[in-house]
A and B are shown apart, each in its own frame.
Chain A
């Protein structure tokens, strides 16, 4: 089954404790991206990757890191999480940057 998976789905953590949210797709998509969704705001892009070893900042990259060592995986790293990073996070992939986005199930992160 073609899909985008994310783990964990839910996470409660404390300020400053490094965490990684994994994202994997099995559709051989070139393009992958991370979004956060906050009440009253649209999905805002954090980082994106056009291909392996090619990543770039989106609209809200502060406090986040990403890597793309393999085509299928695109983890999101929070080196020192803060409460303002409490949000719903979505990973997405597509064949091209302008193409239909396939979203993962979402990760709800709470930083206390």
Chain B
């Protein structure tokens, strides 16, 4: 089983703060890195699927970067809003294992 780690486990920020989380994954046999947003009582929804080293993706106030050589990805949220409160999951797809392995997530709470 591949090791995908996310930090921090949980985070509380004030409305308007910018924040970022980390996803660490094996640097060998990289194929793809996913980010999902999971709101309470809903199902996870994809934010980004990233495949190239140095890739940067953006959706509104949320952006992500990818470093496949050192095995990490950052997710940034600019100007956090209460509706950004959710668990953010990353998932690593290995070219050798051919399956998606999820991290345990970062739970973000944005306080009004």
Q: A98-B32, A100-B46 are in contact. Are A59 and B103 (CB under 8 A)?
A: no
Which listed residue, B32, B45, B49, B105, touches A103 by the CB 8 Å rule?
B45
CA distance A102 to B36 in the complex (A): 10
Q: Do the beta carbons of B46 and A42 come within 8 Å of each other?
A: no
The reply to whether B93 and A42 contact each other, CB–CB distance below 8 Å, is no
For the complex formed, measure the closest distance between the CB of A102 and the CB atoms of chain B, giving whole angstroms. 8
Is the Cβ of B34 less than 8 Å from the Cβ of A101? yes
B102 at interface, CB cutoff 8 A: yes
Least CB separation from A60: chain B residue: B1
**How many contacts between A and B, using CB within 8 angstroms?**
53
Closest to B103 in A: A42
| A interface SS class | loop
B2 to chain A, nearest CB (A): 9
Does residue A48 face the partner (Cβ distance < 8 Å to B)?
A: yes
The answer to whether A98 touches B31, judged by C-beta atoms less than 8 angstroms apart, is yes
Is B104 positioned at the interface, with any CB of A under 8 Å from its CB?
yes
> Are B43 and A41 within 8 A (Cβ)?
no
Complex Cα spacing A102 to B46, Å: 8
Q: Given A42-B4, A43-B102, A58-B99, answer yes or no on A98-B93 (Cβ-Cβ < 8 Å).
A: yes
Other-chain contact of A100, B34, B98, B103 (Cβ < 8 Å): B34
How near does chain B come to A60, taking the closest CB pair, in angstroms? 9
